[in-house]
Amino acid sequence: MLSYRHAFHAGNHADVLKHMVLVELIGHLRQKDKPFWYIDTHAGAGMYALDTPTALKTAEFRDGIGRLWIQDNLPAPVQAYVDQVRQLNRSGKLLRYPGSPQIALQLLRPADRLHLFDLHSTDSRLLQKEYAGDRRIRALAGDGFAGMKALLPPQPRRALVLIDPSYEDRQDYRQVVDALDDALRRFATGVYMVWYPLLSKREAVRLPGALAALRDRDWLQVEVQVKAPSEDGIGMHGSGLFVFNPPWTLPAMLEATLPALVRLLGQDATAGHLLRHTIA
């Protein structure tokens, strides 16, 4: 049975990196009039309250979006992401955080479509309740890897796929690689973004290399480390993204933005970033 719930981690440093890049990728797709699909394999509950016992138990948002919330003169890509969070907090007080589906919805055009999946019984019910009645959104309780496979290639031949499992099961690492391998064969031109945690465990360390081996070009890897790995090897010290078919503008944006993001989110002297890509 799945135990992971993103409500305990919403708005943390990993969400900052993931959602900043998500806003950038959707903005790129919106530059063309032709509609696109957004497919989220592990969508969670969609939105999260930050003033509940669940969120306050770990209060991870305080070292994520909480640090950005009080800053002025943020880099433009960071500000664009924070602006999406502010849409749910019009009073100016940080009380709600948009998950990936909500951010995508806020940027959705009338002809675009969202396909959302989550396997957790509670979160899938919340997801379906939150977006019931919107004909642009299809939210299902089920295996997101299987759901993605059934949707590819998409009808409009344009899609952004987000894959960000909890990795609480070590089989998730293998499933991510296998699912991407299959997806790239089915729909080679899609934009795929994979989130992964920076952990000391062997599977986490090996995942980026396994993803890079799927394709010799048109991918980007970015990581932000916020603190040193713990001595006992437990806990996440940062996170990363692997993007297949990224826009050509993404490397330059990240190169200019990551130093500031590390300063804003870093928790000790080991904080830093990694950026590599195969984009000509």
- What positions carry a catalytic annotation? 164
Nearest to 128 by CA among 211, 173, 17, 119: 119
Distance CA 114, CA 96 (A): 21
**Angle subtended at Cα 268 by Cα 167 and Cα 198, rounded to the nearest 5 degrees:** 15
Which amino acid, one-letter code, is at 1?
M
**Structure tokens of 185?**
């064969």
Inter-residue contact 62 to 87 (CB < 8 Å): no
Burial class (CB in 10 A: 0-12, 13-18, 19+), 26: buried
**Residue 159: enclosing H or E segment and its boundaries?**
strand 159-163
